[in-house]
Chain A
Amino acid sequence: MDRVGGWKDGVVLAVVLPALVLLGGCRLEDRETRPDPPVAQALGQVALMPNGIGGSPPEVYAALGRPYRESAFHLSQGKRLYEWFGCQACHADGQGGSGPSLIDGWWNYGPDLPTLYTTIHDGRPGGMPAFRDRMTRDQIWQLAAYVQAMGAYTGSLAAPGRSDRPQTRPAENRLPAASAPLR
């Protein structure tokens, strides 16, 4: 008991400390509540095909590690924005109303994120309003990711939580839309 430590302590420290530092480098649930202004600026640079369907996300999106679709935090922020900005007025809880359904597997303009981003940002003919003056760019990405997750065919590890209100359709964190009963 007297000779505790010595070189063994040193070895343990030499292994444990760098391991901790490396571990600290991992960012499993990074939550940027407000991106830096240059990043926010760059998030708007979506390169869309001329017909307005399909395209590539901004370069910064990859640089950030494709956060929006894979982070439960961004998805649940998107879910809150979905309610706060009145999406339910036309799309209900995804089932659609005066606007198209978001969970029936049919996308008027395609299900990729840049398209969804542009749809929300610029609006679409037929009643979809533009939100570019009402929401920040990263909020639009969060909302787009949520809408995409809502109608996805495949399950994902990241999902927004279930709402604390009566459910009108299967919760987002249960099954992919394709295998869920509609209405």
Chain B
Amino acid sequence: MSARIQDDQRDTDLADAPLDAALRRVWDTPRGVWGALATVDHKVIGRRYIATAFVFLAFGGVLALLMRWQLARPESRVLTPDLYNQIFTVHGTSMMFLFAVPVMEAMAVYLVPLMVGTRNIAFPRLNAFSYWMYLVGGILLWGAFLVDMGPDIGWFAYVPLAGPQYGAGKRVDIWAQMITFTEISALAVAVEIVVTVLKQRAPGMSLDRIPLFVWAMLVTSFIIIMAMPAVMVASTALILDRLVGTHFFNPAEGGDVLLWQHLFWFFGHPEVYIIFLPAVGMISSILPTFVRRPIFGYLPLVLAMVSVGILSFGLWVHHMFTTGLPRLGESFFTASSMAIALPSGIQIFCWLATIWYGRPVYRTPFLFILAFFFTFIMGGMTGVMVASVPLDTQLHDSYFVVAHFHYVLVGGAVFPLLGGVYYWFPKFTGRMMSERVGKWVAGLLFAAFNFTFFPMHVLGLLGMPRRVYTYQLDMGWGGLNLFVSLSAVVLAAGFLLFFYDAVRSARHGEPAGDNPWGAATLEWATASPPPSYNFARLPVVRSANPLWEDDGVLPVAGGLRVDRRELLVTTVGGALPEARESSPRPTIWPLWSALATTALLLGSILTPWAVVWGAVPVTIALIGWFWPGGRKEEES
């Protein structure tokens, strides 16, 4: 019975227990430090990604509290002006580039392969590389901040403030290079997800049976692939301007300062949807479980996500209404900004209909979705307000805008994300988070969030500009600011409670079964936490809610080799099996490549020659990465 695994052994010939043993032998990450550094398992990397992103969320939250401490009273002297500038920049940069985008991609890195029923993400080594790059980028930003070298130019780093004349020292270079790190990691993950979704779906998972979170991540990944190059060009041009004296943004030599804003927001506005669409996907995937019925309007939801993805590239100028652009252009972008409310509205109504026709079960993830509804719709409404040029001219750069984008980002992305964490936590760890604590977290966060950010609308209407380190007593903003600061403490307490619950539940939570929520999608068809090979036998999908059909009995596909890492490649449209494809084993080279790339990028802050000499170790590391090792996976 202890069948020796021969060459070309197929899973069809094995019973469950020997199959598990055989798959573990080829798929398990080796133990020890080497194994931890070399792993290419999408679940390990995804977990790391998520944990790291939440650490950056906590750090960014501490900075927010510092800002609120400073602003609680007029003429306060808690922070110096220079430190305040660094703090709001690092807060914004950290939240956008080190938390919001990576955490959404991280959820996808973990969940998408499980949801489409495959054994690993496409390009697993690139996945490992992307995590290391992301980690180094985060350490770069925060390390610089700790030694008083944090960027102080705002998270969108407008020139000329960020240019050579006004941005003295190395602070801006650190910001721009941090962007490079996060760009590389985000692009890498986006490519992996696109390929995983298009080519590695379980047999039978045709386009109309893909879980909505996976659809959302597919659209998001395409947005990333098309939007990130704009900011890559922008930040590289900024570094060149500062380091080697090019004049991309210098009007005196034929450059253009507005070029920066166009390039940045051509990325920056799709960025909002890069953060929001995954949240849309999470809601669409979580909601059916808690109202006990399939999602209402699958097709309109998918089409809405795709059209949001397309429209998101036609809105960027609404960030620049006060730069003196021609009126006609501004009208066009007002219209397109309001147009995107249509697909967003379709999504909202599909969800409402799903709830309406369902039987809601008020568990924590569902509560977060309810919190999302109220908060995000508020943010959407103020979004329609600032999309109109006359109003925006009044409100630009005021606290109204601060309130607006926190409503959109926290309401539209963080609440669904936290709901998602509560929902998928049993899958990540095999243990449930506390329902009792979870309800407190949801309630505290929702109430405190609104108490913190709603008054900022009023402060903005009263004329308080954003990014001021203090204000005078006779401006009359003191009372509201104090209230906001006190509410921020409660908000922080809510997050603290969440972190406490997550850490406690990871070790002592109630054990969860494979499918504690009775959900319909494939990630719940395997153990919690899933084994290294995800599915012992690859599932075959016959509907959009596979676990709700046929009493949850899944047909499986066989015929894969078990003596090497192997997965199934299927067609793009109908997910018909095409080929067996090998999947790479763990290797340390992505780490070396990331370190070599880091040396190059950091060195280039100091001297352009770092690009020349730094290319040598990068080349060596890449050669090592691709050097054939005679493993079974490398047979054709």
Contact = CB atoms under 8 A, between A and B. Distances in A.
Nearest to A161: B164
Contact of A29 (B170, B253, B507): B170
B252 interface: yes
A46 B251 CA distance: 42
B82 A33 contact: yes
Given A33-B80, A33-B82, A161 B163 contact: yes
Nearest to B163: A164
Interface string B143-159: 10011110000000000
B171 A29 contact: yes
A28 B148 contact: yes
Interface string A27-62: 111111100000000000000000000000000000
Contacts of A26: 146-148
Contacts of B147: 23-24, 26-29
A31 B166 CA distance: 14
Interface in A141-169: 160-166
A75 interface: yes
Interface in B231-269: 242, 245, 250-253
A87 interface: no
B81 A166 contact: no
A183 B199 CA distance: 64
Question: Which of A1, A2, A30, A161 has the largest count of B CB atoms less than 10 A from its CB?
Answer: A161
Contacts of A171: 245
B628 interface: no
Contacts of B143: 23
A73 interface: yes
A26 B147 CA distance: 5
Given A29-B171, A33-B81, A162 B164 contact: yes
A163 B168 CA distance: 11
B160 A75 contact: no
- Interface on chain B toward A: helix, strand, loop, or mixed SS? loop
B160 A164 contact: yes
Interface residues of A, number: 29
Contacts of B160: 164
Contacts of B80: 32-33
A12 interface: no
Contacts of A31: 82, 148
A31 B80 CA distance: 9
A64 B52 CA distance: 38
27 contacts: A1-B529, A23-B146, A23-B147, A24-B146, A26-B147, A28-B149, A29-B147, A29-B149, A29-B169, A29-B171, A71-B169, A73-B168, A76-B165, A76-B168, A77-B168, A161-B163, A161-B166, A161-B167, A162-B164, A163-B165, A164-B160, A164-B163, A164-B252, A165-B252, A166-B253, A171-B245, A174-B245
Interface of A: 1-2, 20, 23-24, 26-33, 71-73, 75-77, 160-166, 171, 173-174
Given A29-B149, A173-B164, 16 more contacts: A23-B147, A26-B148, A27-B148, A28-B148, A29-B169, A29-B170, A31-B82, A72-B168, A75-B168, A161-B242, A162-B245, A164-B164, A164-B165, A164-B252, A165-B252, A166-B252
